[in-house]
Amino acid sequence: MTDTDPFSEIERAFDVLTDQFGANLGAVPTDLVETGDEFVVRMDLPGFDTDDIDVTLAEDRKLSVTAERDESAESVDGQYLTRERRRQSLSRTVRLPGPVEDDAAASYDDGVLTVHLPKIVEDEDDEGTDIPVN
């Protein structure tokens, strides 16, 4: 029995559409790399400050990133002739292929967020637990 998440299925469908038709659909460009002992997620978040970014891990397998900023350009000399304000907000959730430890680390440099998520190492010699039958 497989555990299917409808939201990850929707995200996968959007990824397929993007690959086939070149549509951006407002997605945050994201790379997921599996190394020997960790997953590494990289996301392009240009123009944000470190304080604008929130990273959370839920259920050992769902990495959620939200970023929000207020941008304003204003004239400081005299009366305002033009004053423009813009609010930018984005979010992306990545379902990891396996469970990870809680001691993840994130860094943000030159508009790229990098999150290192150590995998939960299962003992390969562990053949399970014997359950006595009465």
In a domain, 24, yes or no: no
- The number of domains in the chain is 1
| Distance between start and end Cα atoms, the chain | 28
CATH number at residue 37: 2.60.40.790
In a domain, 9, yes or no: no
pLDDT at 106: 94
pLDDT band with cut points at 50, 70 and 90 for residue 111: very high
> Does pTM top 0.95 for this prediction?
no
CA–CA separation, 66 and 113 (whole Å)? 11
In a domain, 128, yes or no: no
In a domain, 15, yes or no: no
Domain interval for residue 102: 29-118
